[in-house]
Amino acid sequence: MFSLRRREWGGIGRGRNVQGSDFKTLFVNATTSSFCEPRRRIAKVRNARAFAIIGSFCFNSQMQIGQVFRYSKPFSSSLAEIDGVPNFLHITHMPGAKFVLLERGIDRIACVATPDGERRPAILISSSPHKIGSEETPWQDVFNPDIGHIRYFGDNQQPGKDPAKASGNMLLLEQFMIHTSPDPDVRKNAVPLLFFRRVPHGGKAKGFVEFQGFGIVTHAELLTQYHSKLGQYFTNYVFDFCVFSMTAESEVFSWDWISARRTTTKTLSETLNAAPQAWRVWIKEGPPAVEKCRRRVSRLQTVSTANQQPMAGSDTEKVLKEVYEFYEGKKHRFENLASFVAASVIRSNGERYKECWLTPAVSDGGADFIGRLDVGQGFSLAKVIVLGQAKCEKPKIPTGGNHIARTVARLRRGWIGVYVTTSYFSEPVQREIIEDRYPILLINGRILADEVRKLVQEGGHAVGGGVKVDENRRFEIPKQLNSGTA
């Protein structure tokens, strides 16, 4: 829910511990392609203490999670920036090698012949939120790099086709076997996954990608999906990725590691020396070290109103408007939708959650729906009660803090709360929840609309104008959404 703001910055090469003030001025041709020539160069800087010797890779080859890069056609690596944004092809360029491209959701860098045998440098995973529900992307991926988790749908969408034979799925399933192997001799041949999201930037909807970290495959699951526009079912894989920590690297990912893996003369051991610490620890210790290597961000920040509301004119804004207008005055029906949305949000983070029941329409005691979160397995299984509150409110007016306080007051020790609204949460309300450490999950209007879009696009079974959840419960979707006209 909460987002961490990261400052924009420029790197000064691999493994150099210098401060931002130490390299404000680099020599003038820093934005030209000649800056990435393989011969060694010395970068002149204003502070005599700060200098870097440039080896066989690009000068500015560093990324941070949340950093946005320009990815546009025609492809060119000559400019360090395009439209004032770092050029992805410049950052990832390696002289004499082909461009690193993000033309598919699951893309790969070509294998190279090395002294150890054939080696694939990296696999690139990208997601396009603006294409959710289209024929190209009839699903919704979930990116949560700050808790080290990404849930990603594979690349099969053809009815009747074996999903394991789709090129991207085949590649990830192969790595899944390697990434989960207990044998270090197998794991040392693992290929790192690099994660990106296509994002709007500067008023433009396309042509920008945001770095989301690197990691491995930890889980693969076969499921059936529904393509609402084709009106057909198909099977596909959904993958869980672990995003690795970069704490030891000061939250900086150096592309030099990938360039080293692309260098034909370097051995696997030599490339491992350039790898992030979390990768080296995982190679050595295996699956038991996954949680130790997982990225976790400690933060005490609120989310702005703008980040809780859909972008003006977007499909998500239209969905939220339709939901609010449809459910206004239909409190009990909205509670059912809220229960489903809460379950979807919790499960998207890999948790086991069970919807239980709705409370009576009147005298609900401060809770509109009840759920259960199962933690652990077997003898160690703990069943955590979840109390949910649902409010269908005007999207432009913040939800009342008294409603949240009422929900919190009903929580017993060991229980958690969920508050679902079509509105947003004011900064004072968020700050109180954070500072008092209330065990409550806040789902704002933007998240609600995204989940409803996912519900419609993944194609719940339309029954009499609604969507059937089970034999005894139903919530309704506005006809405009169910027909795809919104």
Q: What is the pLDDT of residue 362?
A: 66
Q: Which residues contact 39 (CB under 8 A, 6 or more apart)?
A: none
pLDDT of res. 433: 87
The pLDDT tens digits for 254-270 are: 999 999 999 999 999 99
* Per-residue model confidence (pLDDT) at position 321: 92
Instruction: Give residue 234's pLDDT.
Output: 92
Among residues 244, 260, 293, the one where a domain terminates is 293
Using 50 as the pLDDT threshold, list the residues of the chain that sit under it.
1-59, 133-134, 136, 460-474, 483-486
The domain that holds 121 is classified in CATH as 2.30.280.20
Token duo for residue 34: 């000649």
pLDDT at res. 324: 93
Helix (H, G, I), strand (E, B) or coil at 287: helix
Q: In terms of domains, do 314 and 448 share one?
A: yes
Q: How many Å apart are CA 178 and CA 188, to the nearest integer?
A: 9
pLDDT at position 63 is: 97
Rg (Cα) of the chain, in Å, rounded?
24
Instruction: Tell me what pLDDT residue 294 has.
Output: 95
Q: Is residue 184 part of a domain?
A: yes
pLDDT of residue 48: 30
Q: How far apart are CA 266 and CA 376, in angstroms?
A: 43
Q: What is the pLDDT of residue 473?
A: 44
Look up the CATH number of the domain holding residue 468. Answer: 3.40.1350.10
Bridge-partner residues for 329, per DSSP? none
Let me know whether 341 and 288 are in one domain: no
Asked if residue 376 belongs to a domain, the reply is yes
- Alpha-helix runs per DSSP H in 202-355: 256-262, 268-273, 277-285, 290-293, 305-308, 315-327, 331-347
Q: How far apart are CA 452 and CA 344, in angstroms?
A: 10
Note whether 193 and 285 are same-domain residues.
Answer: yes
Which residues constitute the domain of residue 93? 88-293
Pair 427, 302: CB distance under 8 Å: yes
End-to-end CA distance of the chain: 26
Would you say residue 270 lies in a domain? Answer: yes
- Residue 378: the pLDDT is 81
**pLDDT recorded at residue 479:** 52
pLDDT of residue 400: 83
Q: What is the domain count for the chain?
A: 2
Nearest C-alpha neighbor of 98 from the set 82, 75, 117: 75
Together in a domain, 279 and 420: no
Give the model's pLDDT for residue 236: 94
DSSP bridge partners of 468: 474
Distance of CA 91 to the CA centre of its chain: 21
Pair type for strands 462-463 and 466-468: antiparallel
Looking at the fold, whether 348 and 248 belong to one and the same domain comes out as: no
